[in-house]
Chains A and B, each alone.
Chain A
């Protein structure tokens, strides 16, 4: 009887508690906005793509742990996260191909086919497009590793695995 019913995964249930339920709704929007701020100000102050990707991923992982895996918010699960990580790398490479279409070498930002006139602005736009690709890749990688680890905990039996003596 117990084998037929669906075994509950202890990390997929919501964590509970009224303090966490009401306080994460205030903290998480500020975390996500701060992550996007670090992404776009990456060329003016310390920051960049890797930091922004890690911050946004931590925000989403925290929501998933508190609310449980059944709610519909931030519903990016395992297979979709792997695909989106590849899309992030593709955005990075597509910037390089765009510069080759514009007439320069690979990843040479002065030849982007965008109607801007000053080459400083062209470099800033190229760096922003690259950092967006890196952010998406890092964020999706962290989310899909966490989903894979939680899926492994599905059979909640009492397995006694002892370390080597």
Chain B
């Protein structure tokens, strides 16, 4: 009963999403709303401002370099978190967090 209801609900939501994608503008349209203000400036002035013919790298690393800095730091923090969770009760985890032998400061009291 609940499995059939879940299937029907998922199909209805998928059909609604597919119908809404027809309303979006075409992909390379120069008159759509996101392509009006900043994008023509980037396309016209990327080669002479940054000196690189690759507009993707020029946008990522020169015009929006600040965002790439925080994206890199998010990747580092997520890798660190996954590593610390996975090494919870192992020997390597105890060596990283200095538990066990070296955590004897509290036990000496």
A binds B: yes
Residues of A within 8 A of B (CB): 42-48, 77-79, 82, 85-86, 88-89, 92-93, 96, 106-107, 109, 119-121, 123-124, 126-127, 130-131, 133-134, 137-138, 140-142, 144-145, 147-149, 151-152, 154
Task: Give the residues in chain A near B56, CB-CB below 8 Å.
Answer: 46, 48
Q: How far is the CA of A126 from the CA of B51 in the complex (A)?
A: 11
Interface-facing stretch out of B14-22, B36-44, B82-90? B82-90
Some 8 contacts from A to B, beta carbons below 8 A apart, are: A47-B57, A82-B96, A124-B51, A127-B62, A133-B72, A141-B76, A145-B79, A148-B87
Q: How far is the CA of A145 from the CA of B87 in the complex (A)?
A: 10
12 additional A-B residue pairs with CB within 8 Å, beyond A92-B72, A145-B86: A43-B53, A43-B58, A45-B54, A46-B56, A78-B96, A82-B83, A96-B69, A123-B49, A123-B51, A123-B62, A137-B72, A152-B90
Contact-residue size bin, chain B (C-beta under 8 Å from the other chain):
20 to 34
Mask of B90-109 contacts with A, CB within 8 angstroms, 1/0 = 10100110000000000000
A154 and B90 contact, CB distance less than 8 A: yes
Nearest 5 pairs of A and B residues by beta carbon: A120-B51, A141-B79, A43-B52, A148-B86, A148-B83
User: Contacts A86-B76, A151-B92; is A124 near B69 (CB within 8 Å)?
Assistant: no
User: Separation in Å of the A159 CB from the closest CB of chain B?
Assistant: 14
Report which residue of A46, A119, A134 has the largest number of chain B beta carbons within 10 angstroms of its beta carbon.
A134
Report which residue of B54, B79, B96 has the largest number of chain A beta carbons within 10 angstroms of its beta carbon.
B79
